[in-house]
């Protein structure tokens, strides 16, 4: 019987394996890069039309979150400031900064820019799916800080997504809110240090962050819901 | 594969009520059996046998393989696009993104504006609710609820037309300016029959400017009372009326005579708030004499079927018996068979205290009846302040009618005609007036309307009208309370203008048509005119005006009272004009879904079933069973309903067809599908008006395409037009009509057999009268309501499922809120207000006629309508059911939120689960569409999205079946109406009533803000103890959409933890409270209150009243 397989076929399985492996790897990489939504990943940090720095405004200047996000404690939606909120100060401050040119175009009637009166198109960073109902006021009025979901925004030059906002992540806190509860006075204080707070308030008779959370949970009747209709309707 | 069926025990021996929903059922047609057995409508892909199953599995694998392969190409869709947040540049005052604002406004209409509170999201009006602070508030009806859709209707007129062709608005504006500059212009103005103080004032000023101007008012179905009373009107006060007689007056729904809520408050024996002991003394008594069932007729304690000509005789009989006026002597005597009935009724009226009775005549009745009824009421002492009827001067005095307009046009005394009536005279004017020809005689005619209808095309110019939610105006409610019409949104379409905008342009010197806002943001002339009218009444000043805008009305304003004395000579003249009766009488009825045809392009209304016939999307001729047998169409109607007949080629379940009949009256004939109307007078045919405005080649009736451009995608090919048969002398009924059968049939989509429930004692009814057989008095009957039907002998069901979690805690554990509802059948009349309100609130799509015929309607509330009659024995001992004259009992059914919900236990993916506060929640994003839940729902309250009705346009024929190739409707104007707090559901998802969970959530979250207030007050949040009362929303402060809309206040909703403080708990504590299908152990949160009838013991057949307890088997 003749030699049915020529000699070169000896390395064929290896070649096939390498090719298949490369292909599979390529598919995985392509999928990861191409098909996973960037807007849902932790660390998503798009560039904004105006490079607004939270670090300067919150950390250095000491603005409260609610100066700009003014309806966060009354509405479900935390509003992004309207252009006239920015303009209140920036018609007097940083009048020549080129970074603020888009704002001036929209707000300064003397420039007669075609964009006058149009909104600034901020890129959305935190997005929950359409079928999720999330209400900011329900959280911040009950002792959950901005920081729990958005991280140390006061330290961010450019804002990025700090938490993954998945349903499992939501439920983690709904099952054990005591890890995140803090006194209502401290909700907007991003520099809040629970250990320091407990040390400063010995009358509360609590030792740990969690004990403080449990105390507040009981006092305030905080019973976060886990049933579907809480967020989906 | 057969289904295991529940074998119901026999009905208790003493219960002889026979109930049915449709003619198919009373004839026990195979199709109805099928609907019952099916539990879930056709179209649900079922495997009939093994062979079928094999094919299905194989094709499933094929499809799956193909779609997996294709998924690779479609990967781009996975990538979520970058999205943007666009804040306002300048924040408008009061707007908080994501929060609704509420404004008072009103919907102007004939018979009194409907006061409203408009919900608006970021300047986008989405939902209407009644303004309960308004003295004339009486809920909302289906038309008011659906009117918000008209604002966003994709088929709304957006362009100026010149001779039916698109034209420039500037040209029209120039024309208006030329008219305004010419005081010698002879202009005719045609308004609707609504009253607007500003419009009346402007009309007077226009008369001053244009000496040749003439004013008319026209609506297609205007009341004949206008003729009889001339500038005056009667407004009824139902609160004071103990005995009410309606002569063909559907005052509860289509024929308002005064705020109707007061009537329904007197239908609850415990009082409207359920806080008293049940007593027959709290109830009013309603007698209805009518030809076909109206919803008011369904509420009647005593109802008599009469032909239209007999209603006139009955009115005369009552007048003669009471000695009210002499005009009645000119009318023939009533047939003897009805005399005893009416005599007993008149005794009841005459025996009551003066001023506590009320006789009302329907707007369809001839002027003679209105004269007679006025004389009767005068005789009974009902007219005057503090009595049941107020005579008032309306603003419409001095306006001519359509006949005068036609005469003036023919005489050439009008050059320019401005048509601002909401009706469509070219289409709906009486045929003998030949309005179209007369209109052509005007040199210029300007039509102002929301739709580019027949009149718009016949006029030289058509100007798109602003919706009332876009324009400034004012209106008068039923009692003439000065009520504001506020714009909620800037006009959507730049070409449009409101009625006041146009009138004020003509009144101004430069004739400039200013809409939306004036130059440099100045208010429009319409705003200034409305404000100056108001200042004329309430004085100048910012505060009074702001209060007016906030409250929506001016307190203590009302129509001026008028004196009334019966006018014998006018009455005698009107009697002389009566038509002699002969043969079959054809009744031109107001349609319960599209009124006079003005709502034909409103999808919500078209798809809401007719309250009585339950037909959607079309009108049908109704005839009583006996008359149908006489006319040889009965067998055709019933036979066509069987599954063996006329199965369409695609094999799906839209079997229902109506035989097409040819109706001839006044020498004109029409073709229309016929159906059986129960409880209808013999020898009458009822044809609802308003349909058949345009057809294209696809119409199933086989008509030649005509008037396609007069009607939009919703209204095209719907029903048949009955207006050509109508003359001014026979505006509402014609005598001597002929009906001929044809060999054709027409597909109909009717919901009456869809979602049929099995069971005993679904709707329950008791009487205030002692039962002759069982000797149970009212109290004893109330006590046994809970024991009707199966509930008398079935032991309590024990669930195998434990309602607790692994730790043994109750799953329904919320200590703060537990939601519940009660529906009072005693005051529910079966209008569709709740159904449409639910549709508006919960983003419920329409599915189109094709899908609806298969039972795929999406309405979360369905309005069941049962007929019931007592079974008697004839001389030979055979059982007979008087199916010609049954009682009608409506029952709204939505998800009843069972505590032991059968749907939850069968869901394989836990997409429907209970919440802690007692809701049966539905997580759409989790649903995979197995539909097990719907199969297991005994109430048939679940609805499935067979297609993506939101994304694909269901109105294009077969579009849904074209998949991605079909026409999409994303981003059309109708989507602006969506409630942002409710998910828009996609294909393959189950949905159902959620007790408006979005409203409950909103109320709860708002309430939680109280904690912050307490912390602020205390100064230290860690020291605050938040109590249950802080977190519990105030008693009865949250209303669900159906409850809010209900004009009868039949729905109560609230928190079980509020105990006796909440209306719902007092209702549930009433004796007549019962759970639907209680014996199967589902423990529903929605309960029903049995209907109470208050018959007059002396009336013939009184013992049969109040026995319409419904058993379906």
Give yes or no for residue B115 having a pLDDT over 80.
yes
Residue B801: both structure tokens together: 């499922």
Are the beta carbons of B381 and B413 closer than 8 angstroms? Answer: no
In the predicted model, is pLDDT for residue A136 greater than 80? yes
Residues B1056-1087 have pLDDT tens digits of 999 889 999 999 999 899 998 888 888 899 99
User: Cα-flanking dihedrals φ and ψ of residue A122, to 5°?
Assistant: -75, 140
Chain B nearest-CA distance from A173, in A, is 18
| pLDDT digits 0-9 by tens, A152-195 | 999 999 999 998 888 889 999 999 999 999 998 899 999 999 88
Instruction: Select from B91, B916, B1024 the Cβ nearest to the Cβ of A225.
Output: B916
C-alpha triplet A121, A123, A128: angle, nearest 5°: 125
Is pLDDT of B875 > 90?
A: no
Q: Is the pLDDT of residue B3 over 60?
A: no
Residues 823-852, chain B, touching A (beta carbon < 8 A): none
What pLDDT score was predicted for residue B68? Answer: 54
pTM: 0.88
Query: For residue B445, how many C-alpha atoms fall within 13 Å in the half-sphere facing its CB?
Result: 26
CA distance B911 to B914: 10
A36: which chain B residues are within 8 Å (Cβ-Cβ)? 78
Distance from the A1 Cα atom to the nearest Cα atom in chain B, whole angstroms: 43
Name the closest residue on chain B to residue A32, using Cα atoms.
B79
Q: Chain B: give the shortest CA distance to residue A155, in Å.
A: 22
Nearest 10 degrees: CA dihedral of B794, B796, B797, B801?
A: 180
In chain B the first and final C-alpha atoms are separated, in Å, by 21
The whole-number average pLDDT for the span B991-1012 is 90
Cβ B448 vs Cβ B504: under 8 Å:
no
Angle subtended by helix axes B169-180 and B499-507, to nearest 10: 50
Cα distance between residue B607 and residue B155, in whole Å: 16
- A-chain residues within 8 Å CB-CB of B89? 82-84, 106-107, 117-119
Give yes or no for residue B806 having a pLDDT over 90. Answer: no
CA pair distance A210, A181, nearest whole angstrom: 9
Report pLDDT for B15.
59
Question: CA-nearest residue of chain A to B89?
Answer: A83
pLDDT confidence of residue B645: 39
* pLDDT for the residue B782: 85
- B1012 contacts in chain A (CB < 8 Å): 73, 141, 184
Q: What token pair was written down for A120?
A: 């600034």
Q: How far is B106 from chain A (nearest CA, A)?
A: 28
Min Cα distance A26 → chain B (Å) is 14
In the predicted model, is pLDDT for residue B38 greater than 60?
Answer: no
The rounded distance, in Å, linking the Cα atoms of B496 and B464 is 5
Phi, psi dihedrals of residue B717, rounded to the nearest 5°:
60, 25
Give contacts of A35 with chain B, Cβ < 8 Å: 75, 78-79
Q: State the pLDDT confidence band at B1039, using cuts at 50, 70 and 90.
A: very high
Are the beta carbons of B754 and B744 closer than 8 angstroms? no
Distance, CA of B1043 to CA of B620 (rounded, Å): 31
Query: What is the bridge-based pairing of β-strands B684-688 and B584-589?
Result: parallel
Please give the pLDDT value at position B666. Answer: 86
Residue B475 pLDDT more than 80?
A: yes
* Residues in chain B closer than 8 A to A221 (CB atoms): 816, 1026-1028, 1031
pLDDT score for B74? 45
Question: In chain B, which among 1031-1090 make CB contacts under 8 A with chain A?
Answer: 1031
A211: number of Cβ within 10 Å = 14
| Distance set, CA B618 to CA B268, B282, B687, B716, B750 (Å) | 35, 40, 11, 10, 9
pLDDT (0 to 100) of residue A18: 96
Considering B357-371, B560-574, B958-972, B1013-1027, the range whose residues carry the highest mean pLDDT is B357-371
Kindly indicate the confidence band of residue B39, based on its pLDDT and cuts at 50, 70 and 90: very low
A-chain residue closest to B1007, CA distance:
A138
Average pLDDT, chain B: 85
Choose the closest CB to B85 out of A76, A124, A137: A124
For residue B52, name the pLDDT band (cuts at 50, 70, 90): very low
- Which residues of chain B have a CB within 8 Å of the CB of A216? 1022
Are B946 and B811 spatial neighbours (Cβ–Cβ below 8 Å)?
Answer: no
CB contact under 8 A, A46 and B1026: no
Residue A122 has pLDDT above 90, yes or no: yes
Question: Which range has the worst mean pLDDT, A203-207, B297-301, B641-645, B795-799?
Answer: B641-645
Mean pLDDT, rounded, for B469-474: 92
CA–CA gap between residue B215 and residue B218 (Å, rounded)? 10
pLDDT of the residue at B67: 54
pLDDT at B6 over 60: no
Instruction: Give CA–CA dist B186/B1034, Å, rounded.
Output: 60
Strand order in the sheet with B1086-1089: B1051-1055, B819-824, B1086-1089, B1073-1075
Per CB-CB distance under 8 Å, the chain B contacts of A130 are: 983-984
CA distance B921 to B911: 8
Mapped onto helix, strand or coil, the DSSP state of residue B482 is: strand
pLDDT-based confidence at B504, cuts 50/70/90? very high
Using the beta-carbon criterion (under 8 Å), do B84 and A123 form an inter-chain contact? Answer: yes
In this model, does residue B58 exceed pLDDT 70? no
Give me B62's structure tokens. 């094929």
**Contacts with A229 from chain B: Cβ below 8 Å:** 915, 919, 921-923, 994, 997, 1001
For chains A and B, CB pairs below 8 A equal 169
Over residues B311-323, the pLDDT tens digits come to 988 998 899 888 8
Predicted confidence (pLDDT) per residue in B697-739, tens digit: 888 888 888 888 889 888 888 989 999 999 888 888 888 888 8
Residue where the block lists tokens 């054990």: A176
- The CA distance from B289 to B291, in Å, is 7
Instruction: Please answer whether residues B188 and B417 qualify as being in contact, where contact means their C-beta atoms are separated by less than 8 angstroms.
Output: yes
pLDDT at residue B758, as a whole number? 62
Q: Which of A34, A204, A232 sits opposite B75 (nearest CB)?
A: A34
Which residue among B85, B89, B926 places its CB closest to the CB of A118?
B89
Q: Between residues B37 and B216, which one has the greater pLDDT?
A: B216
**Alpha helices, DSSP H only, in chain A?**
12-30, 54, 65-68, 83-90, 101-107, 136-140, 146-150, 167-175, 194-200, 209-219
Q: Where are the alpha helices (DSSP H) in B555-695?
A: 568-576, 603-607, 625-630, 634-640
Going from the C-alpha of A220 to that of each of A177, A186, B814, B1028, B1075, the distances in angstroms are 12, 16, 15, 9, 37
Q: Rounded to an integer, what distance in angstroms lies between the CA atom of residue A79 and that of residue B91?
A: 11
Query: Residue B954 pLDDT more than 80?
Result: yes
Q: How far from the centroid of its chain's Cα atoms is residue B888's Cα?
A: 17
Residue B918, number of CB atoms within 10 A of its CB: 21
For chain B, what is the radius of gyration of the CA atoms?
Answer: 29
Tokens linked to B207: 């008369």
User: What pLDDT is recorded for position A65?
Assistant: 92
What is d(CA B1074, CA B101) in angstroms, rounded to the nearest whole number? 38
Alpha-helix residue ranges (DSSP H) falling in B412-459: 425-428, 435-441, 454-458
User: From residue B734, how far is each of B305, B360, B440 by CA, in Å?
Assistant: 17, 22, 28
pLDDT higher than 50, residue B44: no
Rounded to a whole number of angstroms, the distance from the CA of B468 to the nearest CA of chain A is 28
**B80–A137 CB contact, under 8 Å:** no
Question: How far is the C-alpha of B1096 from the C-alpha of B1106, rounded, in Å?
Answer: 11
Which helix (DSSP H) or strand (DSSP E) does residue B685 occupy? strand B684-688
CA A45 – CA A38 distance, rounded (Å): 9
Nearest beta carbon to residue B87 from set A82, A143, A219: A82
A82 or B877: which leads in pLDDT: A82
Q: pLDDT-derived band of residue B1113, with 50, 70 and 90 as boundaries?
A: low
Categorize the per-residue pLDDT at B69 as very low, low, confident or very high, splitting at 50, 70 and 90. Answer: low
Among A121, A219, A227, whose Cβ lies nearest the Cβ of B1024?
Answer: A219
- Nearest-CA distance A101 → chain B (Å): 15
Q: What is the pLDDT of residues B832-845, one digit of tens each?
A: 999 999 999 999 99
Minimal Cα–Cα distance from A29 to chain B, Å?
A: 14
Section A93-100 average pLDDT: 90
Distance separating alpha carbons of residues B617 and B750, to the nearest angstrom: 9
How many C-beta atoms surround the C-beta of residue B726 within 10 A? 25
Q: A220, A223, A225: which to substitute to probe chain B, counting the most B Cβ within 10 Å?
A: A220
Q: From CA B584, how far away is CA B633, in angstroms rounded? A: 15
Angle at CA of residue B947, ends B649 and B693, nearest 5°: 70
Q: Please judge whether A230 and B915 are an interchain contact, meaning their C-beta atoms are less than 8 angstroms apart.
A: yes
**Chain B residue numbers touching A219 (CB-CB < 8 A):** 1022, 1024-1026
The conformation of residue A33, written as its DSSP 8-state character, comes to I
Per-residue burial over B1091-1102, b if 16 or more Cβ lie within 10 Å, else e, is: bbbbbbeebeeb
pLDDT above 90 covers a percentage of chain B that reads 38
Q: What does the pLDDT look like over B381-418, one tens digit per residue? A: 888 888 899 988 888 778 888 989 999 999 988 889 99
- B1022 contacts in chain A (CB < 8 Å): 183, 201, 204, 215-216, 219
pLDDT of residue B72: 46
Q: Is B1021 on the interface with A (CB under 8 A)?
A: yes
B190 pLDDT band, cuts 50/70/90, is very high
Q: Is the CB of residue B500 less than 8 Å from the CB of residue B199? A: yes
- What phi and psi, each to the nearest 5 degrees, are found at residue B810? -60, 135
Determine which of B512-516, B593-597, B640-644, B830-834 has the lowest per-residue pLDDT on average: B640-644
Say how far apart CA B18 and CA B41 lie, in whole Å.
25
Residues of A in contact with B995 (CB under 8 A): none
Residue B644: what pLDDT?
43
Chain A's closest residue to B74, CA to CA, is A35
Asked whether the beta carbons of residue B1008 and residue A228 sit closer than 8 angstroms, the reply is: no
Kindly state the average pLDDT of the residues B633-649.
56
Of the listed ranges A109-118, B53-62, B953-962, the least confidently predicted one is B53-62
A121: nearest CB among B86, B911, B994: B86
- Max Cα–Cα distance, chain A, nearest Å: 96
- Chain B, window 798-817: residues with a beta carbon less than 8 angstroms from a chain A beta carbon: 816
**Residue located via tokens 């007929």:** B867
pLDDT category of residue B778 using cuts at 50, 70 and 90: confident
Q: How confident is the model at residue B647 (pLDDT cuts 50, 70, 90)?
A: very low
């Amino acid at each position: 019987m003749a030699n049915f397989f020529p000699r070169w076929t000896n390395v064929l399985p290896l070649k096939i394996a390498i090719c298949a492996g490369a292909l599979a790897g390529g598919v995985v990489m392509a999928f990861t890069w191409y098909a996973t939504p960037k807007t849902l990943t932790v660390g998503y940090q798009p560039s904004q039309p105006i490079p607004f720095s939270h670090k300067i405004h919150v950390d250095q200047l000491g603005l409260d979150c609610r100066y700009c996000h003014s309806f966060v404690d009354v509405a479900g939606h935390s509003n992004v400031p309207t252009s006239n909120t920015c303009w209140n100060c920036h018609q007097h401050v940083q009048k020549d900064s080129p970074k603020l040119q888009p704002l001036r175009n929209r707000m300064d009637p003397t420039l007669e820019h075609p964009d006058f009166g149009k909104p600034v198109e901020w890129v959305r960073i935190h997005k929950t799916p359409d079928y999720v109902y999330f209400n900011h006021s329900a959280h911040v009025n009950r002792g959950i800080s901005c920081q729990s979901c958005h991280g140390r925004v006061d330290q961010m030059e450019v804002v990025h997504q700090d938490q993954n906002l998945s349903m499992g992540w939501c439920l983690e806190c709904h099952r054990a809110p005591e890890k995140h509860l803090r006194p209502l006075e401290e909700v907007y204080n991003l520099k809040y240090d629970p250990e320091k707070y407990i040390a400063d308030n010995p009358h509360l008779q609590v030792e740990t962050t969690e004990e403080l959370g449990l105390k507040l949970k009981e006092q305030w009747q905080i019973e976060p819901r886990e049933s579907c209709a809480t967020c989906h309707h | 594969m057969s289904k295991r069926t529940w074998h119901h025990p026999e009905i208790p021996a003493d219960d002889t009520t026979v109930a049915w929903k449709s003619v198919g059922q009373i004839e026990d047609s195979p199709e109805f059996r099928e609907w019952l057995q099916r539990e879930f409508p056709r179209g649900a892909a079922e495997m009939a046998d093994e062979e079928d199953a094999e094919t299905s599995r194989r094709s499933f694998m094929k499809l799956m393989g193909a779609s997996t392969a294709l998924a690779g190409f479609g990967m781009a869709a996975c990538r979520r696009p970058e999205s943007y947040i666009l804040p306002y540049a300048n924040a408008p005052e009061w707007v908080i993104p994501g929060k609704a604002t509420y404004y008072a406004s009103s919907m102007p209409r004939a018979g009194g504006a409907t006061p409203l509170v408009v919900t608006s999201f970021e300047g986008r009006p989405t939902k209407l609710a009644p303004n309960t602070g308004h003295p004339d508030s009486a809920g909302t009806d289906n038309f008011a609820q659906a009117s918000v859709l008209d604002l966003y209707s994709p088929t709304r007129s957006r362009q100026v037309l010149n001779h039916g062709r698109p034209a420039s608005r500037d040209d029209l504006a120039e024309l208006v300016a030329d008219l305004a500059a010419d005081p010698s212009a002879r202009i005719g103005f045609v308004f609707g029959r609504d009253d607007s103080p500003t419009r009346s004032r402007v009309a007077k000023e226009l008369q001053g400017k244009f000496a040749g101007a003439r004013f008319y008012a026209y609506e297609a179905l205007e009341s004949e009372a206008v003729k009889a009373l001339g500038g005056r009107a009667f407004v009824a006060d139902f609160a004071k009326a103990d005995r009410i007689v309606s002569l063909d007056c559907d005052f509860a729904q289509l024929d308002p005579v005064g705020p109707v809520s007061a009537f329904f408050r007197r239908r609850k024996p415990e009082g409207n708030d359920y806080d008293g002991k049940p007593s027959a003394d709290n109830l009013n008594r309603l007698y209805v004499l009518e030809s076909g069932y109206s919803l008011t007729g369904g509420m009647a304690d005593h109802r008599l079927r009469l032909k239209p000509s007999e209603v006139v005789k009955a009115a005369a009989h009552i007048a003669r018996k009471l000695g009210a006026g002499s005009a009645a002597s000119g009318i023939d005597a009533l047939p003897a068979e009805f005399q005893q009935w009416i005599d007993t009724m008149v005794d009841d009226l005459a025996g009551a205290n003066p001023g506590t009775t009320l006789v009302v005549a329907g707007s369809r009745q001839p002027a003679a009846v209105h004269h007679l009824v006025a004389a009767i009421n005068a005789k009974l002492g009902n007219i005057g302040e503090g009595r049941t009827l107020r005579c008032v001067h309306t603003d419409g005095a001095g306006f001519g009618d359509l006949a005068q307009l036609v005469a003036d046009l023919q005489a050439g005394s009008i050059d320019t005609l401005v048509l601002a009536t909401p009706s469509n005279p070219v289409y709906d004017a009486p045929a003998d007036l030949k309005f179209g020809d007369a209109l052509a005689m005007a040199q210029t005619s300007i039509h102002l309307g929301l739709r580019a209808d027949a009149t718009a095309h016949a006029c030289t110019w058509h100007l798109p009208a602003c919706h009332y939610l876009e324009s400034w105006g004012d209106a008068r409610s039923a009692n003439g309370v000065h009520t504001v019409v506020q714009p909620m949104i800037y006009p959507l379409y730049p070409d449009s203008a409101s009625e006041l905008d146009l009138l004020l342009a003509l009144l101004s010197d430069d004739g400039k048509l200013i809409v939306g806002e004036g130059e440099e943001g100045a208010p429009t002339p319409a705003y200034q005119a409305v404000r100056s009218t108001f200042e004329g009444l309430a004085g100048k000043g910012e505060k009074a005006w702001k209060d007016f805008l906030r409250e929506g009305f001016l307190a203590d304003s009302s129509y001026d009272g008028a004196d009334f004395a019966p006018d014998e000579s006018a009455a005698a003249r009107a009697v002389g004009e009566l038509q002699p009766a002969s043969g079959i009488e054809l009744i031109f009825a107001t349609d319960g879904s599209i009124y006079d045809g003005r709502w034909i392009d409103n999808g919500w209304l078209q798809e809401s079933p007719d309250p009585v016939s339950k037909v959607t999307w079309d009108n049908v001729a109704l005839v009583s069973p006996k008359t149908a047998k006489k006319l040889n169409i009965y067998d055709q109607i019933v036979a066509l309903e069987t599954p063996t007949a006329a199965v369409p080629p695609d094999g799906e379940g839209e079997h229902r067809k109506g035989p097409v009949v040819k109706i001839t009256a006044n020498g004109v004939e029409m073709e229309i599908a016929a159906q059986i109307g129960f409880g209808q007078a013999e020898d009458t045919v009822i044809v609802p008006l308003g349909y058949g405005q345009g057809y294209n080649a696809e119409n199933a009736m086989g008509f030649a395409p005509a008037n396609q451009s007069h009607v939009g995608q919703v209204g095209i090919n719907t029903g048949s037009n009955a207006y050509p048969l109508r003359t001014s002398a026979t505006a509402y009924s014609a005598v001597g009509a002929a009906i001929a059968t044809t060999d054709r049939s027409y597909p109909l989509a009717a919901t009456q057999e869809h979602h049929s429930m099995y069971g005993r004692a679904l709707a329950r009814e008791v009487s205030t009268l002692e039962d002759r057989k069982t000797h149970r008095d009212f109290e004893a009957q109330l006590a046994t309501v809970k024991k009707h039907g199966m509930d008398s002998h079935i032991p309590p069901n024990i669930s195998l499922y434990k309602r607790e979690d692994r730790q043994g805690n109750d799953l329904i554990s919320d200590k703060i809120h537990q939601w519940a509802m009660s529906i009072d059948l005693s005051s529910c009349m079966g209008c569709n207000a709740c159904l449409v309100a639910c549709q508006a609130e919960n983003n419920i799509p329409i599915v189109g006629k094709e899908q609806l015929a298969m039972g795929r309607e999406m309405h979360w509330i369905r309005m069941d309508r049962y007929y019931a009659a007592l079974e008697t024995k004839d001389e030979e001992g055979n059982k007979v059911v008087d199916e010609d004259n049954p009682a009608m009992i409506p029952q709204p059914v939505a998800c009843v939120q069972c505590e032991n919900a059968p749907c939850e236990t069968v869901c394989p993916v836990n997409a429907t689960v209970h919440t802690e506060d007692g809701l049966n929640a539905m997580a759409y994003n989790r649903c995979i569409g197995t539909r097990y839940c719907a199969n297991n729902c005994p109430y048939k309250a679940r609805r499935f999205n067979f297609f993506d009705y939101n994304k694909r346009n269901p109105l294009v024929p077969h579009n849904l079946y074209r998949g991605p190739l079909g026409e999409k409707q994303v981003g059309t104007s109708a989507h602006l109406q969506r409630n942002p707090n409710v998910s828009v559901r996609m294909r393959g998802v189950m949905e159902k009533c959620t007790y408006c969970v979005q409203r409950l959530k909103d109320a709860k979250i708002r309430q939680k803000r109280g904690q912050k207030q307490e912390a602020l007050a205390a100064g230290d949040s860690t020291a605050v103890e938040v109590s249950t009362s802080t977190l519990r929303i105030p008693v009865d402060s949250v209303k669900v959409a159906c409850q809010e809309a209900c004009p009868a206040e039949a729905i109560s909703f609230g928190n079980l933890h509020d105990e006796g403080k909440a209306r719902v708990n007092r209702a549930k504590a009433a004796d007549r409270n019962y759970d639907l299908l209680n014996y199967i152990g589902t423990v529903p949160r929605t309960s029903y209150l049995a209907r109470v009838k208050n018959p007059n013991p002396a009336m013939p057949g009184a013992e049969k009243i109040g026995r319409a307890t419904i058993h379906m088997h």
